[in-house]
Amino acid sequence: MRIDVVTIFPEYLEPLNVSLVGKARVRGTLDVRVHDLREWTHDRHNTVDDTPYGGGPGMVMKPDVWGEALDAVAASGEGEGAPALVVPTPSGRSFTQELAVELAAKPWLVFAPARYEGIDRRVIDDYATRWEVHEVSIGDYVLAGGEAAVLVITEAVARLLPGVLGNAESHRDDSFAPGAMADLLEGPVYTKPPVWRERGIPEVLLSGHHGRIARWRRDEAFRRTAAHRPDLIERCDPAAFDKHDRAL
Ligand SMILES: N#Cc1c(-c2ccc3ccn(Cc4cccnc4)c3c2)n[nH]c1N
């Protein structure tokens, strides 16, 4: 997968050089290219924003600068097919594991994290005539720009790519992963030492009985979900649980 990010804060994307995404880049599983939007300005102040038509607070990012930048990214991938444009915005579709799975299947993502009050609407409308466009929000809170969302989305997508996570099974019990555990939060996890500050380990985890352990983990996931995200319980499919139990 190729990922391009156009931003006025390239240094904000430094975390994409470390850990899981960093290793995937070194291995060649991910080709991540970060571009400074100001490269496509032509004035001495490298201006990327202007006042909003219709008045109102803040500034809006200029369409001509973004258009030149995204055209240049497109041109650098001639013959690779059209990318999917991902635009983080507080007014976007909620970013979910389902969308992460969808994006992980794309060969090329181009991220356009904005600042100020956002990007002139005509940029998204223009590229939507040639590219798949996803306007995405990572949560119901307000950030100052889209770069943090790019880090979140990139990590969620990268970990789904073949060979990126050490244990291929790790996806199976992901919170929100499709399947019997779909929409359930993960239960508690434990490791050595067997006693820590006079706290032991749930006996079932020491039993070696995989069926009982799987059922305990499912029940714990259900309990945590009911406590922290009751809204997700309503989306669970009881039949999936029976199928899960039968497989134990
Ligand atoms: N994804 C995502 C987001 C953002 C987000 C993303 C991009 C931009 C660009 C500019 N702003 C500031 C801004 C603009 C307009 C109104 N309110 C705030 C952003 C916020 N906030 N919260 C999220 N979950």
> What tens digit of pLDDT does each residue of 40-98 get?
999 999 999 999 999 999 999 999 999 999 999 999 998 889 999 999 999 999 999 99
Enter the CATH code of domain 2-158: 3.40.1280.10
Report which protein residue has its CA nearest ligand 1's atom 13. Answer: 117
User: Other CB atoms closer than 10 Å to residue 211's CB: what's the count?
Assistant: 11
Give the single-character DSSP code of 186: P
* pLDDT given at position 172: 60
Tell me the average pLDDT across 6-12: 98
Q: Which residue has the higher pLDDT, 117 or 175?
A: 117
Q: CA-CA distance, 52 to 40, in Å (whole number)?
A: 21
Residue 169 has pLDDT above 90, yes or no: no
Residue 108 has pLDDT above 60, yes or no: yes
Atom of ligand 1 nearest to the CA of 141: 22
Q: Where are the domains of the chain?
A: 2-158, 172-246
One of 25, 38, 159, 215 is an active-site residue; which one?
Answer: 159
Residue 173 has pLDDT above 80, yes or no: no
* pLDDT given at position 183: 76
Among this protein's residues, is 98 annotated catalytic?
no
Mean of per-residue pLDDT scores for the chain: 93
Residue-wise DSSP of 63-126: HHHHHHHHHHHHHHTTTS-PPEEEEEEEEEEEP-HHHHHHHHT-SEEEE----TT-B-HHHHHH
Report which protein residue has its CA nearest ligand 1's atom 16. Answer: 117
* pLDDT given at position 166: 78
Among this protein's residues, is 113 annotated catalytic?
no
Report which protein residue has its CA nearest ligand 1's atom 8. Answer: 145
Structure tokens, 106: 């794309």
The Cα-based distances of 54 to 59, 60, 80 in angstroms read: 12, 12, 40
Residue 240 has pLDDT above 70, yes or no: no
Enter the CATH code of domain 172-246: 1.10.1270.20
Residue 196 has pLDDT above 60, yes or no: yes
Lowest mean pLDDT segment, chosen from 145-159, 173-187, 193-207 = 173-187
pTM of the full predicted structure? 0.92
Q: Which helix (H) or strand (E) holds 49?
A: strand 49-50
* pLDDT given at position 244: 63
Give every CB contact of residue 118 below 8 A, 6+ residues apart in sequence: 60, 61, 89
Atom of ligand 1 nearest to the CA of 95: 1
- Do the first three CATH levels of 2-158 and 172-246 match, i.e. the same topology? no
Among this protein's residues, is 71 annotated catalytic?
no
**Cα–chain center distance at 172:** 18
* pLDDT given at position 233: 87
pLDDT in tens, 116-168: 999 999 999 999 999 999 999 999 999 999 999 999 999 999 999 999 997 65
Tell me the average pLDDT across 31-37: 98
